[in-house]
Amino acid sequence: MRSYYSEADFYDYDPRTDIDPLCCCEFFDRNNERTHLLVTCCSCCCYCFNGAPRPETRPTSSKLTGSKLGAMLLTFQDRLRIPWRGGAKQITLDNVLTLVILIGTLLLTAVHSYLCLVIMLLIPPVLLYLKRLFDVIHPKTKFFTIWFFGSCVYLVALFELTVPLLEILPQENVGFVVLMTLAFLCLLKAKQRAAMNHISALPDLNGTECGKGSKEQIVLFSDRNDSDDGGATDSDSSGRLACQLCRKYVPPRAYHCKVCGSCVLRQDHHNVWLNCCIGKSNHRLYLAGCIFTLLALLVFANLALTAVCHPTPIFTLYGIIVMMPDDCTDIFFQYDIALCFTGSVYALIMATFIAIAIMKQFCFISFGFSFSEWRRGEHVKRRNCLWNWKAFCLGQ
């Protein structure tokens, strides 16, 4: 029986590999004891499930001290879970607070036009400041992951509950949902495959290979000349690469991520919005997810703005009239219409930063080096643009 479930088990759990699997409502509490969600509703559930009689207890009167109150809050936070395969998953209070701040901020923007302008201008610098702050105090935070996926879910709910009540064609609705679904699947798969980039099953520097008096040259990360031919020094092409922090041999173009605490195979960057490293195993899925997200946000902004504002036709594409908003002066007189407008502005802000990230990825892939290599000044151009894109698409 397993006593702990990591973050990877949240996505990759397979009941067939577990000797004593948990049901969807069971979990291990903070005391590492197996319990059930129904215990939170009825104190006798633990006895009912085991078939044992409930013991008789006498009521005792005691004052609520600070230690008891703290224990109650910890127990409440530990039992705040949702049913999931392989055991109930915990919902922490900071995750709920992130969603409350996100939804409250976006709902507040529809109150007045000046308030919308101020909030939309403050969102990018505030998120940038929080990123720098969390890099220092809590690098492995899930704040940005919850913010990103919460924003996508909010826009989908806004589109389905408000915008279709106006003038949206069924094929336009289906197109937006398909694009957002593809984006979600690609990004979720990229996060699942992030663990495949971590280098863990390689020999250690202090292992038997070094203890036998091996004369093989060891090239540390700070001394290497990274290239496609191996990454050894210029004097000896047979040298092996080794990480100073992991104390393990690593293949070429591998970098140590301080946030993940592991060396990542062909690391591009650590993405705070997915809370994982982008490397060889999930780079293509990440780029595809960004492209689908960009298209979905642009479609949402166009459909929502043309529905709440006075549209004007621009051109016809395969029998579909593409329109753009013309006059949006009277949108804040009705709250639901203003909510659609502010959601469109927020989608355009998200699309702008995603487009910048995609252009950076296109440039780095064309030149044949990753973002980590560019940041470290290791600008090793690998062949031509066509060969680099072929190697990227084939996962070489």
**Bridge partners of 313?**
323
Answer for the pair 307, 336: CB distance below 8 angstroms, yes or no. no
Question: How far is the CA of 16 from the CAs of 28, 189, 193, in angstroms?
Answer: 19, 21, 20
pLDDT of residue 47: 40
What tens-digit pLDDT sequence spans the chain (396 residues)? Answer: 344 444 444 444 455 555 666 666 666 666 666 776 666 544 444 444 444 454 454 545 456 677 777 777 677 666 777 776 666 677 777 778 889 999 999 999 999 889 999 999 999 999 999 999 988 888 888 899 999 999 999 999 998 888 765 567 788 888 899 999 999 999 999 998 988 888 765 555 555 444 334 444 444 444 444 444 333 333 334 456 777 777 777 777 788 888 888 888 888 889 999 989 998 889 999 999 999 999 999 999 988 888 888 777 777 767 666 777 777 777 888 888 889 899 999 999 999 999 999 999 999 888 888 888 888 776 666 678 888 888 888 877
pLDDT of residue 17: 56
pLDDT of residue 293: 96
User: Tokens 């195993």 identify what position?
Assistant: 281
Answer for the pair 253, 275: CB distance below 8 angstroms, yes or no. no
Q: 312-322 burial, b if ≥16 CB within 10 A, otherwise e? A: eeeeeeeeeee
pLDDT of residue 164: 61
Q: How many other β-carbons are positioned within 10 Å of the β-carbon of residue 207?
A: 13
Token pair of 342 as six digits: 């502010």
**Bridge partners of 256?**
263
The H or E element spanning position 316 is: strand 310-317
Q: How many other β-carbons are positioned within 10 Å of the β-carbon of residue 271?
A: 21
pLDDT of residue 349: 95
pLDDT of residue 245: 74
The H or E element spanning position 69 is: helix 66-79
The region, left, alpha or beta by phi > 0 then psi within -120 to 50, assigned to residue 338 is alpha
User: Tokens 């301080």 identify what position?
Assistant: 258
Give the span between the Cα atoms of 297 and 348, in whole angstroms.
7
Q: What are phi and psi of 283, to 5 degrees?
A: -65, -45
Residue 204 DSSP code: B
Total-model pTM: 0.73
pLDDT of residue 20: 64
The H or E element spanning position 89 is: strand 89-90
Integer Rg of the chain from CA: 26
pLDDT of residue 334: 86
Answer for the pair 237, 230: CB distance below 8 angstroms, yes or no. yes
**Bridge partners of 220?**
242
Answer for the pair 205, 218: CB distance below 8 angstroms, yes or no. yes
Question: How far is the CA of 295 from the CAs of 292, 302, 314, in angstroms?
Answer: 5, 11, 19
Is the C-alpha dihedral spanning 34, 40, 41, 43 positive or negative? Answer: positive
324: Cβ contacts below 8 Å, ≥ 6 apart: 302, 305, 306, 311, 312, 314
**Bridge partners of 275?**
none
Give the span between the Cα atoms of 372 and 278, in whole angstroms.
10
